[in-house]
Homo-oligomer: A and B are copies of this chain.
Amino acid sequence: MEDRIILAHGSGGKLSHDLIKDLLLRELGNPCLNLLDDAATLTLNGRLAFTTDSYVVSPLFFPGGDIGKLAVCGTVNDLSMVGAIPKYVSLSLIIEEGFLLKELKKIISSIHTTAQKAGVEVVTGDTKVVNRGSADKLFINTAGIGIIPDGVELSGSNAKIGDKIILSGPLGDHGIAILCQREGLKFKTSLESDCAPLNTLVADMLEASKEIHVLRDPTRGGLASTLNEFAESSKVGIKIAEDKIPVRDAVRAACELLGFDPLYVANEGKLVAVVCSQAAEKVLSKMQKNEQATQAAIIGEIVADHPGKVVMKTQFGSSRIISMLAGELLPRIC
């Protein structure tokens, strides 16, 4: 096998087949994928969730993960956010000619490990190679299918007045880790992306209570944009308290230095839940027992005032409107 990707790896001919067999199937193979048919065939019944995301993160490798881990976690998490149990993912690669095979191998191996951890199978895929300069190294798309258990009804438009807002842990780890890696910044405390599959956390939460109305992972645009989406879709107001929102000291320090607001920085292993107030404490204590959410906290509530708006009580006691991210904070964060 050549040590770099060449255009013929994407030809649909012999080298494509060799790449698929020697690298992709060796790592990810299963009875469904091994057939190499045009589509995977699956037997599934009931309510399904279906999602897709393309990943263009730069750099491809960062503290706490790489584009492969991210591509599995992101899609697993999107399925989890509608309450689905993630089952199957597709994997589509757009590779720049000249990309190192050993890096591709590392990324495929990371996809494998993460898929195993999240309990999903890669059942169908595609590989394209573009000329040097037509893409930046590697882009990955994953789509996913999950099964929604009976009685689960989650949507950004389901928030009700009086509901509590729970955040699963400290904000901004992913965005700041990527930025530091990209710019070669070093802090005394090491910063790692929080990139992780959240399906077991969601399963725990739904076991504690079915009275969860909304779930979403605050990725691009951060917590601020996610809460604004809830306020808009559910036509409600949102009130949060700054002193309740967990942020690691290292992330806070980096944000201050770089002029970022943690509310707008991307996360890849956190979720925000809107939960019926009676069930909130029960859901919270269940979350805190899961390794993905030991620092979970109630950070605010859904209110009748200022529908469509998110208002934060600052640490100084004043109130501030938190709007959706307006420009672009950090391109290619995921």
**Could you list which residues of chain A lie within 8 angstroms of chain B, going by C-beta atoms?**
6-8, 10-17, 35-56, 58, 77-79, 81-82, 84, 88, 90-94, 123-126, 128-131, 133-136, 139, 141, 143-146, 148, 154-157, 216-217, 219-222, 225, 229, 233, 264, 266, 323-329, 331-332
| A36 proximity list for chain B (CB < 8 A) | 156, 229, 233
State the Cβ distance, A132 to closest chain B Cβ, in Å: 11
Q: Indicate the member of A46, A47, A56, A220 with the most B CB atoms within 10 Å.
A: A56
**Copies, count:** 2
Contact for A135 among B125, B134, B145, B233, CB less than 8 A:
B134
Q: Can you identify 17 A-B contacts, CB atoms within 8 angstroms?
A: A8-B327, A10-B331, A12-B221, A13-B324, A17-B229, A37-B82, A37-B156, A38-B82, A39-B51, A42-B50, A50-B88, A52-B141, A54-B93, A92-B141, A130-B332, A139-B139, A141-B143
| 6 extra interface residue pairs, beta carbon distance < 8 Å, beyond A53-B92, A130-B331 | A17-B324, A35-B233, A38-B77, A39-B84, A41-B49, A54-B126
The answer for the CA separation of A270 and B47 in the assembled complex, in Å, is 34
Assuming A130-B136, A331-B131, is B225 touching A13 (CB within 8 A)? yes
| B48 contacts A13, C-beta separation under 8 Å | no
The answer for the CA separation of A135 and B138 in the assembled complex, in Å, is 10
Q: Indicate the member of A6, A229, A325 with the most B CB atoms within 10 Å.
A: A325
| B56 contacts A11, C-beta separation under 8 Å | no
Contact for A156 among B35, B125, B144, CB less than 8 A:
B35
